[in-house]
Amino acid sequence: MTFVNIHEAKTQFSRLLEAVAAGESVTIARAGTPVARLVRYEEEDREQRLGFLAGHGAVPEDFDELEAGPIEALFGAGDAASA
């Protein structure tokens, strides 16, 4: 583990990031008192969310025809009088 003061951290930031990327941790101190630690970022595995609403609803058989008349009328297609 590397221990540096704030001034050194500011001037050597790129070098410190390279050390962190290699797996080392870096502690940054102010007046000898640790205030922060740089550690390598580890990506967390996120839970797959596809299908999270399965079983909570249903799509009606006539879904494609629902409100077809008013929608066609809005776009100038079909018979506007049937809307």
Q: Which two tokens stand for residue 78?
A: 């079909």
Q: Is the pLDDT of residue 11 over 90?
A: yes
The secondary element (H helix, E strand) that includes residue 2 is strand 2-5
Above 90 in pLDDT, residue 81?
no
Evaluate if residue 59 carries a pLDDT over 90. no
The span from the CA of 25 to the CA of 16, in Å, is: 9
> In terms of pTM, does the model score above 0.75?
no
Domain 2-38 has CATH 3.40.1620.10: yes
Select the more confidently predicted residue: 82 or 5: 5
